[in-house]
Amino acid sequence: MMAKILDGKATANDLLENVANKISKLKANGIVPGLAVILVGDNPASQVYVRNKRKKAEKLGINFVLKELPKDSTQEEVLQLVEQFNHDEKINGILVQSPLPKQIDEEKVIRMIDPKKDVDGLHPQNLGLLFGNIKQYYPVACTPKGVITLLNKYQINVDGKNVVIVGRSKLVGKPLLALLNNLNATVTLAHSHTHNLEEITKKADILIATVGKIGVITDNMVKPGAVVIDVGINRNSDGKLVGDVADNVKEVASYITPVPGGVGPMTVATLMEQVVELTAVQTNNENLLE
């Protein structure tokens, strides 16, 4: 058996088409969605991510504002900039690119973002709404939301399924746990202190790897016919992009996401979708939230 590919690139393109339609409707009412990105320092990976976001946003007609600060910037300077964007009516979504230099407390920066403009869904207020499964609109971390969109596209139902997430980051593992729990999956969150990882992963109908370590999931850890989602983005010794899941897993799984071309494009497309959703909520265009 060879796993079918969950094509994140094609699914992201469909999503972006839908986003573009919503943007035209907003523009017909004189509204241009605005995304502000704050980049502190000169981390090369962060620069690439920001460039990708800019390219997608500008292609869609989103007003993209990038503020770059030197890596020796103070906490106060970053907080002031966030506050400035909080009050700027042309800005609907604010994103602070991580990682931040060590002198800056990331938690404080996230808390300073207006929850209504928190495009990454990491403000404690939005996390509370997510974990409480509150029935209203709120932004959700883009990678987890993108994973759910991808599963939906391929009609992979999570209701009642055993889902194992390996990795408990606040950006992916934890919000994904809440999203899947809200969709009635039985979720296990494994991490670096988990004993007998292989025993746990072998019970998964859907296995999600988000560790950031090459080949951490191997074929003997996967139940035959399981769906495998690889969130990892790593570079191997040849400089090639690879995930957390070993190559031979595709011989055991029923569906698998490739790296690149799986979860990555979904994250960027979901970010754009969320900028538009936040704009719709802020401008009383909730009818665009279908």
Does residue 180 lie in a domain region?
A: yes
102 CB-near residues (< 8 Å, 6+ apart) = none
**Is 196 contained in some domain?**
yes
Whether 244 and 190 share a structural domain: yes
81 and 154 in a single domain? The answer is no
Q: Which segments are annotated as binding site?
A: 167-169, 233
* 154, 259: one domain: yes
Residue 98 and residue 174 in one domain? no
How much is the pLDDT for 1? 77
Q: What is the CATH number of the domain that holds 46?
A: 3.40.50.10860
> By the 8 A CB rule, do 17 and 273 touch?
no
Residues 244 and 150 in one domain: yes
Say if residue 90 is in the same domain as residue 50. yes
Residue 101 within a domain: yes
Q: Distances in Å between the alpha carbon of 4 and those of 9, 121, 165, 258?
A: 14, 31, 20, 10
Indicate whether 146 and 250 sit together in one domain.
yes
One domain for residues 146 and 71: no
Same domain, residue pair 95 and 151 = no
Residue numbers in the known binding site for NADP(+) are: 167-169, 233
pLDDT along the chain (290 residues), means of 10: 96 98 98 99 94 98 98 98 99 98 98 99 98 98 99 99 98 98 99 98 99 98 99 95 97 98 98 99 93
Beta bridge partners of 64: 35
The answer to whether residues 79 and 42 belong to one domain is yes
* DSSP label at residue 3: P
Residues 258 and 146 in one domain: yes
Domain boundary at 115, 132, 161, which?
A: 115
Q: Are residues 64 and 176 in the same domain?
A: no
Q: Long-range contact list for 127-134, CB < 8 A, 24+ apart?
A: 127/174, 127/175, 127/178, 130/175, 130/178, 130/179, 130/182, 131/178, 133/178, 133/181, 133/182
pLDDT number for residue 140: 99
Give the count of domains, the chain: 2
Residue 124 lies in a domain: no
Domain, as residue range, for 148: 142-264
Active site residues per annotation: 53, 97, 120
User: Tokens in use for 213?
Assistant: 């370590």
- What is the rounded end-to-end Cα distance, in angstroms, of the chain? 37
